[in-house]
Structure 1
Amino acid sequence: MNEQVLVNWQKKSAERQKIYQRLLNRADKNDVLKTLPDLHEEAFEKVDCLSCANCCKNYSPRFKTPDIKRISKMMKMKESVFIETYLNLDEDGDYVVKTKPCPFLGADNYCSIYEDRPSDCRRFPYTDEDVIVKRQKLTLKNSEFCPIVYYVLEGLNDKLGR
């Protein structure tokens, strides 16, 4: 893909949601999974996450029990105090951060708990796994604030769109 693909990507992503939805519904899952590794790598070469950090500014990962245990231990806090200080339960019953941007995001876009970050953060933006097809609603939402998801969907559309 050419360099121009990321120019005005947010506007283009919003305009192309139906195209992406159709692509994710119609594309052969195996073809998608075969195509993802190269697109994922290519996207990360083109987009510097530290200059963006939209995920940390607009999105909260789920903090699962192992995440809470690990992070509260690293921060030398009781789990209950960590939860009370930083987390809320969302409508799905998942723990998420109380504030946006994420309280662990520094002004330099570095994460203060990076080595111990939640598994959702480690895996985001899910462009190298089947989540991109299995959880289409999430993929579409992510494409509106993550240039890497947008880039990968554009690449999938170029290669597999019919």
Structure 2
Amino acid sequence: MKKFQRFLQRADKNKVLRRLPALHEEAFAANDCLQCAACCKNYSPRFKTPDVKRISKHLRMKESVFIDTYLHVDNEGDFVVKSSPCPFLGADNCCSIYDVRPSDCARFPYTDEDVLLKRPQLTLKNATFCPIVFSVLDKLSEGS
């Protein structure tokens, strides 16, 4: 992880952003999220207001009931799931609200966007459990 931390501190943003799409695709081709689901088992996305509205409507629940049932406010002031694994994760590692999932879930693991560089602490944390993030960082740091 130290290698990744050093890389993120001195990375050439434009060079990295040019390489991300290919590395992202390569990592996703080599890793099956449905075999892993570590993100859903151990961490929670942020549920922003549009996510809460969309998901509660999909579940035919009042927003307040959805929040009371599934969410709590974390130490950063964000809505996150109350329990791990995520209550929407099935035994088959499929998401029961996949089509309306939070934007954080849709964007995860951020290996195709500048979040990888803009939020280095998040990237390093994600690399500890997500083989896709680890793979992308490993290849980026090799080529630097």
TM-based fold match above 0.5: yes
Residue deviations 1:88-116, cap 9 Å, x none?
Answer: 00011000000000000000000000000
Count of residues in correspondence between the two structures: 144
Q: In the alignment, what sits opposite 1:140? A: 124
Separation in 1, partners of 2:62, 2:114: 35
Residue deviations 1:68-126, cap 9 Å, x none?
Answer: 00000000000000000000000110000000000000000000000000000000000
Q: In the alignment, what sits opposite 2:78? A: 94
Q: In the alignment, what sits opposite 2:113? A: 129
The one-letter code matched in structure 1 to 2:107 is: R
The match for 2:65 among 76, 81, 84 is 81
Q: In the alignment, what sits opposite 2:18? A: 34
1:8-157 matches, within 5 Å, as: 17-157=1-141
Please tell me the root mean square deviation across aligned C-alpha atoms, in Å. Answer: 0.4
- Give ranges in structure 2 of 5+ residues lacking alignment: none
Scaled by the length of structure 1, the TM-score of the pair is: 0.88
Separation in 2, partners of 1:102, 1:35: 32
Scaled by the length of structure 2, the TM-score of the pair is: 0.99
Q: Name the SS of the counterpart of 1:157 in structure 2.
A: helix
Residue 27 of structure 1: how far off its partner (Å) = 1.3
Separation in 2, partners of 1:58, 1:41: 24
The one-letter code matched in structure 1 to 2:129 is: F
